[in-house]
């Protein structure tokens, strides 16, 4: 088995990287995929999410941590026996991010709906292009139908990046589920179900087209 590596990266803090990583892990697991999550962020938010999950019983997925120099080793080890490795990265762009990008089959860049977040995205896109890694930019914490969301989406298009057709809404459910070690798909039904399902559909379609 050779699994796929999904790296969630963004220079700016507060973009929702860990939320995206955790919910992708749960959504893929619920589709019968085997999943490992790899936390390379010193803040350890994904690790705390995993431990909260573990305290409730079988977490249903594997977990590992690594600093920059150990990312390649951990990815190679994990993808030998899982379908997906999901990597959460620190909110910065420097040499420490390169190992995670090099291992990636797809780099997912969450962008909160603000122009400042779009500006921060440029450096991530540049680094991913240098490493020749495919990128999917994801609007996160978006408020549908607002002028700001439309402006941010247009600004992302102007960067020449592939943008996900779905956006994740600004919903309390995402934060609530993360704090209890869940994914939103495990808590209750709501508009977030269609969002996450559509995102996973798009990711798997992109990977199968490679």
Q: Are 122 and 148 in contact (CB under 8 A)?
A: no
Residue with tokens 């943008």: 163
Structure token pair of residue 42: 């010193």
* pLDDT score of 147: 81
CA distance 79 to 13: 28
Q: Which domains does the chain possess? A: 4-202 (3.40.50.300)
Look at residues 72, 120, 125, 68 and name the one whose alpha carbon lies nearest to residue 97.
68
* pLDDT score of 57: 86
Q: Are 198 and 165 in contact (CB under 8 A)?
A: yes
Q: Using the CB atoms, write b or e for 41-75: b if 16+ within 10 Å.
A: beeebbbebbeebeeeeebebbbbbbebeebeebb
* pLDDT score of 117: 80
* pLDDT score of 1: 65
Structure token pair of residue 159: 């960067």
CA distance 183 to 191: 14
Summarize pLDDT for 60-83 with one digit per residue, the tens.
999 999 987 799 999 999 999 999
* pLDDT score of 90: 86
Confidence check: pLDDT of 16 > 80: yes
What does the mean pLDDT of the chain come to? 89
* pLDDT score of 80: 94
Neighbours of 187 (CB within 10 A): 14
Summarize pLDDT for 147-203 with one digit per residue, the tens.
877 888 888 888 888 999 998 988 888 888 988 999 999 977 888 889 999 999 999
Check residues 46 and 114 and name the one with the higher pLDDT. Answer: 46
């Amino acid at each position: 088995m050779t699994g796929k590596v999904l790296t969630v990266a963004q220079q700016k803090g507060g973009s929702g990287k860990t939320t995206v990583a955790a919910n992708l892990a749960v959504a893929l697991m619920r589709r019968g995929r085997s999943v490992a999550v790899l936390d390379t962020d010193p803040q350890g938010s994904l690790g705390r999410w995993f431990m909260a999950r573990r305290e409730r019983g079988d977490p249903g997925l594997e977990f590992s941590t690594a600093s920059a120099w150990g990312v390649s080793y951990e990815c190679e080890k994990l993808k030998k026996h899982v379908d997906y490795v999901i990597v959460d990265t620190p909110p910065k762009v420097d040499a420490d991010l390169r190992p995670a990008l090099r291992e990636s089959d797809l780099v997912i860049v969450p962008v909160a709906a603000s122009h400042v977040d779009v500006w921060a995205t440029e450096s991530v896109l540049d680094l991913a292009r240098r490493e020749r890694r495919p990128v999917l930019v994801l609007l996160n914490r978006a408020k549908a139908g607002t002028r700001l969301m439309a402006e941010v989406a247009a600004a992302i298009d102007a960067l020449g990046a592939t943008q996900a057709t779905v956006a994740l809404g600004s919903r309390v459910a995402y934060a609530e589920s993360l704090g209890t070690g869940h994914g939103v798909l495990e808590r209750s039904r709501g508009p977030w179900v269609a969002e996450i399902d559509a995102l996973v559909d798009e990711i798997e379609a992109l990977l199968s087209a490679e």
